[in-house]
Structure 1
């Protein structure tokens, strides 16, 4: 079911599946994607969770409204939880969605039950990034690309210290040597985080769906 919520000053569109009385699980897609990036994943989790997959601001059918500050995008997620009357949830985020998820977890530790970060970059300067060049791609706001790129390349140093505030059990999934993301450093900074490598590159949940689901299920069932 596709729905929309007007929260934190913007319209967020989201998809909901599963039993509305089941434990909540929220999926956050990566940059330039939308809730459809989780097709096949949502159905798997909907067997035992209330699954919500949103379009982040600047993506899909949600509002294209900046500025696109990463902590504010995390506040969108928390505001959506408030709208849905969800106190605590499992958060699963890929790439930019993972960054959004860990900002939510460190700024609102009481709202996150468990945290899964799929090949999400740590808040450290992202070196050797090629310049961002616009093309005719659609489905997202190019201002979002420039705003988030600036923060990925030069993150606020306070964000690294903020990772210490995460209290939720955390699984960090690495794409291995085929990915340019330093997930090992992210896992080292989050208290008690578990690091699992699935050596298929950045798009773990699409390139190795069964292994992704197996790793996440094992973590959620622990």
Structure 2
């Protein structure tokens, strides 16, 4: 599958991969900054943003989508950065297609299975009645009982498109819901490892990268480096200056 890609800048290629229910546009300011030194390609995952909809959300398929999109744009090797679900896609690409990955950056995720609250968010989105005349404010209020955190509600509702009588979801909710087990999991081929440079950037107020997960990281990525940013899970948007301070020297090395 060829993914919708937002491209900016010139220089060494840098692929950027968003998290669940995100889109390439989430990297806006960060992509523009990195575009000063790199050819940045921010990709919408399948069933997200403006990319095609298709069944199957396992990381092998998602990584192959990235590989196909790189090939279509004439890129045979790139630095690859992914956040959350995008970090798992980036890790799977590095483990299964290491020749494509010049260096790897993983933002606040580990190569482990999670029992995350994301499944409840998908159910809440599926249950939202999209009625004629509904406004974004109406949708925010309707999601409140299931998703009390205002920031998360706003993030999810970035996927609501108001271009007709009633709003519609940009994301393929049914395919994502059917694939939640695969999204929460991480199952690379037996014996897989990536011997290139890797940087794991975690949020200090997040529980997605814990000491218990370090053996898994070291097993798959023996040359992994680590950095901590004062932030919760959305490290790159919550503290972009500290995130860039950790990221840019690694990309320039």
Q: Into which bin does the TM-score normalised by the smaller protein fall?
A: 0.7 to 0.9
Structure 1 counterpart of 2:5:
14
User: Aligned pair count?
Assistant: 206
Alignment TM-score, normalising by the size of structure 2: 0.75
Cα pair distance change 1:151/1:26, threshold 3 Å = same
Alignment match, 2:52: 63
Q: 1:16 and 1:106, CA in 2 relative to 1: closer, same or farther beyond 3 A?
A: same
Q: Which residue, out of 95, 116, 124, partners 1:134?
A: 124
Q: How far off is 1:220 after superposition?
A: 1.4
1:5 aligns to what? none
Q: How far is 1:114 from its partner?
A: 0.7
How far does residue 87 in structure 1 lie from its aligned partner after superposition? 1.1
Alpha-carbon offset, residue 211 of structure 1: 0.6
Change (3 A) 1:160 1:183: farther
One of 202, 218, 221 as aligned partner of 2:249 = 218
Residue-by-residue CA offset, 1:104-148 (whole Å, 9 max, x unaligned): 0000111100100001232x3324757532323533222343244
Query: Partner of 2:227 in structure 1?
Result: 196
Q: 1:183 to 1:95 in 2, by over 3 A?
A: farther
Q: CA deviation at 1:183?
A: 5.4
**Alignment gaps of 5+ in structure 2:** 129-156, 158-168
> Are 2:217 and 1:187 aligned?
yes
CA contact (8 A) 2:82 2:107 kept: yes
Q: Is 1:205 aligned to 2:253, yes or no? A: no
Select the structure with the greater relative contact order (CA < 8 A; seq sep ≥ 6): 2
1:11-41 C-alpha deviation (Å, 9 max, x unpaired): 521111112xx21111111110111100101
Q: Which residue of 2 aligns with 1:81?
A: 70
The runs of at least 4 consecutive aligned structure 1 residues that moved more than 6 Å come to none
CA separation in 1, counterparts of 2:244 and 2:84? 17
How far apart are residue 86 of structure 1 and its match? 0.8
| Residue 64 to residue 220, structure 1, CA distance change in 2 (3 Å) | same
Tell me the distance in 2 between the aligned counterparts of 1:53 and 1:64. Answer: 18
Aligned to 1:97: 86
What is the aligned partner in structure 2 of residue 4 from structure 1?
none
Q: Compare CA radii of gyration and give the structure with the larger one.
A: 2
Q: Is the 8 A contact 1:70 1:148 kept in 2?
A: no
Give structure 1 stretches of 5+ with no counterpart.
1-7
Change (3 A) 1:193 1:147: farther
